[in-house]
Structure 1
Amino acid sequence: MRQGGHRWPPAFPCTPGGSRGTRLGSYPPGIRSARMRAREIVLLVLVAFLLVLKVAPGAEKREESYANFKTFVTVLEQVKRNYVVPVDDSKLFYGAFKGMLAELDPYSQFMTREDVEQLEVDTEGEFGGLGIEITVDQNRILTVITPLEDTPAMKAGVLPGDRIVEIEGHNTYNMTLMDAVKRLRGKPGTKVTIAVVHQLTGKRETLTITRDIIKVKSVRAARMVDPGAKVAYVRINNFQRTTVDELTQAVKKLLADGMQALVLDLRRNPGGLLDSAVGVADLFIEKGIIVSTKGRSPDTSHQFDAQKEGTFPNFPLAVLVSNFSASGSEIVAGAIQDHHRGIIVGQRSYGKASVQSILSLEGGCKLRLTTARYYTPAGRLIHREIDAKENEPWGIHPDLEVKMTMEDELGLSEHFRDERVSESSNGAKPPKPEVQPPLEEGEIRPDVRKEGEKKEFVDTALVRAVDALKAIMVVQKR
């Protein structure tokens, strides 16, 4: 509706055609008085208040909403009248919108037109990054879920669970994920300096890392881990478009070599494409639900089912997970566990499994809003809320728990690195099996290291998984 030739209600800050810093409304500059602008802002907030009242159930909730809106209007008026310098209306509203979304979870965000344009550039164009999956923890601290293998971050020494406390001198406390990603990304070949506090040692370290195009090999280290028992091993680093094909080729080759059982390693796998994760689970499951999504709106409820075609033979299967297995890896592990297709070995997974929808707003702004969560076939919630307690249901619990010490985590990082070096060396043989003969009761494995040599890494979780699979094969042969 228009009154007196001017737009009413006042234009939203993202109104098409407006420039950065444009004030609410469309009055010619210099004509509107501060009082008129304040009045329009208050009226706009009241319009929003009426809309909220329509969806607020019950008189008590409506009273609470009214009180909150009254406080909001009062704060807005005080800032407009009394702040030491004049403040642009859009800056206040943008701050309110971003703060509102930040209170929900780390993944819900208000995106300005500039944010949307940058996201489109990042999606469609070529950009450089560090190769890390990050989140914001319950204390609003920027945290590394895991560095991807063979990327600048991993080569620089970034480890799972590290806290990024500074980016280019900017403190990251209360920094949104989008702001952090914008600061970490850049042109390939440029450098970015970050300060991290290593979770495993508690030490702070400043790292200057050169950005690069991130290309990660999804499926790695396929080999016979116990040649005598014909137990094979394969690791999935993340879920890409090629993951299903890569895994299919690797497993077919292992089967041709006589594989009788498989260890699927999803440790430190931060997720990736949903379709790829569903496709990987589908290779092991003949029928039934793989994962479902549920939200408040019926439009957010979806179900992904397994198809018999292309399913691997029903060989014994163990899946390795860790505290840093997230998202897609939790979908795969949860589906295999609920269908009793294999055993889960390791530690409780990370608990990151929410669905974000992109909602378009007037004038080119967008809302990235969490609208649903992922559930396993048995209906178990995977996602961990930001204030969730340890005894609450979230993540994937292993059937066979294997705890990791600080030394184990560091050893695993070095082991994965050595595997990559071995794979990239022309003609190099695959790493020797980590599985060593079991000890008799009371026997101590001799330390055959030479002076100055590091202690040989033993992947305890893998050893336990192989032992469990060998026990299953013995029972099946009876």
Structure 2
Amino acid sequence: MFNKKLLPVLITIALVAGFAGGVFYSRPKLADEVIVQKLINQDTGKIQNVDFSEFWKVWKLLEEKYVDQGKLDTQQMVYGAIQGMVNAIGDPYTMFFEPDTSKKFQEEIAGAFGGVGMELGFKNDTLTVIAPIKDTPAFKAGIKSGDRIVKIDGNSTAGMTVDEAVSKIRGKPGTKVTLTIAPPANGTIRDITLTREIIKVPAVDWKIIEHDGKNTAYIQIYTFSQNVDSDFKKASDEILKSNTDSIILDLRNNPGGLLDSAINLAGYFVDKGQLVVSEVFGDGTKNDFKADGASQLAKYPILVLVNGGSASASEILAGALHDNKQIHLIGEKTFGKGSVQQLEELAGGASLKITVAKWYTPAGINISVAGINPDIKVELSDKDKESLIIGDPTKDPQLQKALDILN
């Protein structure tokens, strides 16, 4: 299941909660025996020049003096210690999962589950909606990219990790969850009650838009899931048979997904052998990923739509097209996630997702901090956002701008 690299950015509630803002590598289960046994049997002293004596002193004091001895759970104490060690790194995308959370994480990567249909991340240390997923409860309720989630069922999200938020929002289909939502800027804070559903995420949709006597193939990529390769090939085959004059590739509100798919899709637009993305690890090791397609769609004039919900694999594809083919990006600055995570399975069902590398566009730009700025900025006003229907030129100013430029 985990033989592919995943990108995401970002937690997807009811989609891909493991896509927390980066590329994922998966590994076979470690050969380690039970973590607790290894840790408890470790004597005090120094390991790799780290003094663990204070740790063990606290452990022994708790065992000897804590008033409710019967409530001490050594397994949970170990998990808590590991969680504290991971949190001390200060990287919100390096995470330790206890067995129950680890199981949910892997289920989410694998397929459909009960949720409300949106991706979450952090913006300015605030739990933020990266993008709602089309035709899900969150989407239908009007939740927008950039909305801040300040409470979940009345509980403040301050200090809450993304995974804790995901676990609280997910649940059995048919049950309800109430989110307290604050807009990106000043505005009315409101409660929205959503009914959880089984969420199945579309990958690709496309249609012909006629504008000023020209036919533009408008392609929306919702996520880089396992279905995107086959769905995009089907769309490409149909476009090549149609009377298409140009292409608009819409990556708005696309949180990412499979790295292999982003590279594969780049091959429809850039020449074989051209660099798509580079990964740089902590020791300086660099892996270059190059296009291996037939550049079937490169003959068409192309524009790419992006916004603050475009993250991870979306940014890789947008960066590859921009840097290699000078294809213009239109819309708003992307989210900015360029880290690579590796998922390690631990004994007892726990797992560790650890940031191991950063990725760079062909021009050598790491977009983790600033995101990718569009060549042509088209910001949406509050009024635009209220009436926005993505894919409808009469109610989508960014799409309308792209059509005007192409035609």
Do structure 1's residue 467 and structure 2's residue 404 form an aligned pair?
Answer: yes
* Aligned counterpart, 2:116: 130
Secondary structure in structure 2 of the residue aligned to 1:283: coil
CA apart distance, 1:83 = 6.7
Residue 247 to residue 88, structure 1, CA distance change in 2 (3 Å): closer
Do structure 1's residue 366 and structure 2's residue 354 form an aligned pair?
Answer: no
Aligned counterpart in structure 1 of residue 384 of structure 2, from 408, 417, 421:
408
CA apart distance, 1:343 = 1.0
Distance 2:37 2:133 in 1: 40
* Aligned counterpart, 2:14: none
Aligned counterpart in structure 2 of residue 383 of structure 1, from 356, 368, 382:
368
Distance 2:111 2:281 in 1: 33
Kept in 2, the 8 Å contact 1:220–1:236? The answer is yes
Secondary structure in structure 2 of the residue aligned to 1:128: strand
Secondary structure in structure 1 of the residue aligned to 2:279: strand
Residue 111 to residue 315, structure 1, CA distance change in 2 (3 Å): same
Aligned counterpart in structure 2 of residue 239 of structure 1, from 220, 224, 229:
224
Secondary structure in structure 2 of the residue aligned to 1:234: strand
* Aligned counterpart, 2:310: 325
CA apart distance, 1:315 = 1.4
Residue 118 to residue 264, structure 1, CA distance change in 2 (3 Å): closer
CA deviation map 1:397-449 (0-9, x unaligned) = 2112222222223332xx13xx6xxxxxxxxxxx5x53xxxxxxxxxxxxxxx
Kept in 2, the 8 Å contact 1:265–1:319? The answer is yes
Do structure 1's residue 399 and structure 2's residue 375 form an aligned pair?
Answer: yes
What aligned pairs does 1:442-457 form with structure 2 within 5 A after superposition?
Answer: 457=395
CA apart distance, 1:108 = 1.0
Kept in 1, the 8 Å contact 2:338–2:359? The answer is yes
Secondary structure in structure 2 of the residue aligned to 1:337: helix
The letter of the residue matching 2:351 is: K
Distance 1:468 1:118 in 2: 45
* Aligned counterpart, 2:28: none
For structure 2, the residue ranges without an aligned partner over 5 or more in a row are 1-32
Larger Rg belongs to: 1
The letter of the residue matching 1:172 is: T
Do structure 1's residue 100 and structure 2's residue 85 form an aligned pair?
Answer: yes
CA deviation map 1:205-246 (0-9, x unaligned) = 222211111123222352224151333322222222222333
Q: What is the TM-score of this pair, normalised by structure 1?
A: 0.69
* Aligned counterpart, 1:168: 153
Kept in 2, the 8 Å contact 1:265–1:321? The answer is yes
CA deviation map 1:134-179 (0-9, x unaligned) = 113332x221101111111111222111111222233221212222
CA deviation map 1:261-317 (0-9, x unaligned) = 11111111111222222222111112211112111147x743221124363242111
Secondary structure in structure 2 of the residue aligned to 1:339: helix
Distance 2:261 2:367 in 1: 18
Kept in 2, the 8 Å contact 1:293–1:372? The answer is yes
* Aligned counterpart, 1:184: 169
Residue 75 to residue 325, structure 1, CA distance change in 2 (3 Å): same
The letter of the residue matching 2:385 is: E
* Aligned counterpart, 2:275: 289
Distance 1:245 1:341 in 2: 26
Aligned pairs, number: 371
CA apart distance, 1:200 = 5.3
Secondary structure in structure 2 of the residue aligned to 1:250: helix
The letter of the residue matching 2:372 is: I
* Aligned counterpart, 1:205: 190
Aligned counterpart in structure 2 of residue 155 of structure 1, from 117, 136, 140:
140
CA deviation map 1:91-142 (0-9, x unaligned) = 4443342233234322211122333344455556862111111113332x22
Do structure 1's residue 230 and structure 2's residue 206 form an aligned pair?
Answer: no
Distance 1:468 1:126 in 2: 39
* Aligned counterpart, 2:11: none
More strand by share: 2
Aligned counterpart in structure 2 of residue 342 of structure 1, from 309, 327, 332:
327
Aligned counterpart in structure 2 of residue 354 of structure 1, from 319, 326, 339:
339
Distance 1:247 1:117 in 2: 30
For structure 1, the residue ranges without an aligned partner over 5 or more in a row are 1-10, 17-23, 27-39, 54-64, 385-393, 420-430, 435-456, 471-478
CA apart distance, 1:75 = 6.8
